Amino acid sequence: MRENRETVMSIRNNLQEVLSTLPEGVRLVAVSKFHPVEALQEAYDAGQRIFGESKVQELSQKEAVMPKDVEWHFIGHLQTNKVKYIAPYVTLIHGVDSFRLLQEIDRQGKRVGRVIPCLLQMHIAQEDTKFGFAFDECREMLANCEWKELTHVALVGLMGMASNTDDEELVKTEFARLHQFFIEVKHDFFIEDEDFKELSMGMSDDYPLAVAEGSTLVRVGSRIFGIRNY
């Protein structure tokens, strides 16, 4: 698969291949981190409009030169002191993993006159290296209603990363647990909020499993743009 993809396929073909497998209602975030703007432009010319980046500086540089109708999703770990740089244009922040970060996004949203859509990142993997709320921690934050006073952020769903493993059963279980948690949180806190509807899960190696478990946003990088040179 990998060889085939890298030798004969272009970004346009890769994109079409991924898109052809996504059911209606599942959107693709093309994760373009570490790839040059030429690669993003190729995807853009093929019709892709949602791009995911994980570094603030890199995102800012690309935003400045890419067409204005691109939707920029921030998918990495966001430091509070960098929110201000992306607040004017970011379309969705996937990785909100603390109330403090949410407060800062609210503050910056207010400053630039925007309501910034955010996903709460949940820790679902076995590894302890990945960021995110534990389920209980998230319930606790939502039960304490302080977040409702934040007028310049909109919580629109949840995000998670499964374990990096070949064990498909484990990955499936992790995605299923996140979906279950989404249903619980939707019911308990967002039942009347139509905007709370996104479940961001699935990357190059596991997005078909994520889609099967209810993902609405898949974040696919290397399968579209090739391997990254960090």
Measured CA to CA, the distance from residue 17 to residue 173 in angstroms comes to 26
**Residue in 54, 116, 138, 209 binding ligand PLP, rule: CB under 6 A:** 54
Tell me how many residues contact ligand PLP (CB under 6 A): 14
- Window of 7-15, 79-87, 187-195, 221-229 that interacts with ligand PLP by CB under 6 A: 221-229
Contacts to ligand PLP from residues 57-96, by CB under 6 A: 75-76
In terms of Cβ atoms closer than 10 Å to its own Cβ (0-12, 13-18, 19+), residue 84 is middle
- Window of 13-21, 63-71, 165-173, 197-205 that interacts with ligand PLP by CB under 6 A: 197-205
Number of C-beta neighbours around residue 184 at 10 A? 12
Contacts to ligand PLP from residues 146-165, by CB under 6 A: 161
- Window of 96-104, 138-146, 179-187, 199-207 that interacts with ligand PLP by CB under 6 A: 199-207
Name 206's bridge partners. Answer: none
Residue 219 lies near ligand PLP (rule: CB under 6 A): yes
Residues 6+ away with beta carbon under 8 Å from 181: 122, 135, 138, 158
At closest approach, how far in Å is the CB of 110 from ligand PLP? 27
What are the residue ranges of helices labelled H in the chain? 2-8, 11-21, 37-45, 56-65, 83-86, 99-112, 135-143, 168-189, 207-212, 222-225
At closest approach, how far in Å is the CB of 95 from ligand PLP? 7
Contacts to ligand PLP from residues 17-36, by CB under 6 A: 31, 33
Q: Taking a C-beta distance cutoff of 8 angstroms, is the pair 118, 102 a contact?
A: yes
Residues in touch with ligand PLP (CB under 6 A) = 31, 33, 54, 75-76, 161, 203-205, 219-223
